[in-house]
Amino acid sequence: MMIITQKITSLAYEIHDGMFRKDEELTPSQRGLAVRRMPSLLEYVSYTCNFMGILAGPLCSYKDYIAFIEGRASHVAQPSENGKDEQHGKADPSPNAAVTEKLLVCGLSLLFHLTISNMLPVEYNIDEHFQATASWPTKATYLYVSLLAARPKYYFAWTLADAINNAAGFGFRGYDKNGVARWDLISNLRIQQIEMSTSFKMFLDNWNIQTALWLKRVCYERATFSPTIQTFFLSAIWHGVYPGYYLTFLTGVLMTLAARAVRNNFRHYFLEPPQLKLFYDLITWVATQITISYTVVPFVLLSIKPSFTFYSSWYYCLHVCSILVLLLLPVKKSQRRTSTQENVHLSQAKKFDERDNPLGQNSFSTMNNVCNQNRDTGSRHSSLTQ
């Protein structure tokens, strides 16, 4: 009975704080606080059955959701000129500008999808005549532009969902240093960063952001071995049963590990002078866009036969290159220090107890930033960039 009580208590704390923690990571005082803040049945059902949340997306933490429902989301601190936060005393911020901008993005994405996407079908990459007659530069160019044309439908869906939440008043994340309201609390993508990505990690960090942070929290940071492989496999299961999903995410494991190895071994040679860094960024941008397009073709084709047809037409070249990179280049393993985890938990426990500022920023992104800062500090000498 005691074990069941502990499990329920731990789950309540996880839901309320928007985090996912193990039982042993909670102090007795935190468990007692969780019991007093156990969500009611109405709150729990409201969160889990919210169509624009868990059911359809974008995913949001319970902490952010309940702050919005209770009307606390807009009462946040605003940065002042002296660098300190001052309690916001103005009227509730208006989402009109953010909603208008996002609806404009939706319109452009939909227009692009209905026109350009139909002219550049991904299926043409496996056309027999195209495979037999096209040169390698032509194949690579069409691969990139066809997958570029396939992305606006995702831009449309995610941006529309974000705009609808903003129109309802959900998604406010405080003010920037200039006092401008930010409405990106539950934004699911950053289009500019996606299209200008110079690394596999940069692309993934800006694509389906909320789900990626959820995967990082529930799998990557808790995995005892091969966290990258486990996270990609969980993501494949989360997406569905189509074989193309599994081919994409298994390929993504290879590409991610290989890209990390190349970056760790060569990037520091190209940081100075700025002209050399610009050349490096251009080369890595081309390599990243081609690699991403190569990886996600099965995700679009879905079926296993056309997916293997595509990879066969490319002679599995990027798979082979990735394996060779992993075999020939030294790979530095990430060190998941216990002290780093303890610092993160202490920081989050402190924020949980301090209730003066109910919604400083997205609880997912807050945890993400704290983890990244601690990891960066602890791994500078190892030059490990994930």
Q: Is the peptide bond before 58 cis (omega within 30 degrees of 0)?
A: yes
Beta-carbon contacts of 209 under 8 Å, excluding residues fewer than 6 positions away, are: 187, 188, 189, 190
Structural contact between residues 244 and 302, judged by C-beta atoms closer than 8 angstroms: yes
CA 363/CA 164 separation, integer angstroms = 21
Burial of residue 350, with CB atoms counted within 10 A of its CB: 0-12 exposed, 13-18 middle, 19 or more buried: exposed
Q: Assess whether 188 carries a catalytic annotation.
A: no
CA 382/CA 262 separation, integer angstroms = 14
Indicate which residue of 125, 165, 206, 208 is catalytic: 208
Indicate which residue of 75, 88, 239, 345 is catalytic: 239
Residue 227, both tokens:
């966290």
Structural contact between residues 35 and 14, judged by C-beta atoms closer than 8 angstroms: no
Mapping DSSP to helix (H, G, I), strand (E, B) and coil, where does residue 385 land? coil
CA 235/CA 199 separation, integer angstroms = 20
Neighbours of 287 (CB within 10 A): 16
Structural contact between residues 141 and 294, judged by C-beta atoms closer than 8 angstroms: no
Q: Assess whether 118 carries a catalytic annotation.
A: no
Q: How many CA atoms lie within 13 A of 366 on its CB side?
A: 22
Positions annotated as catalytic residues are 208, 239
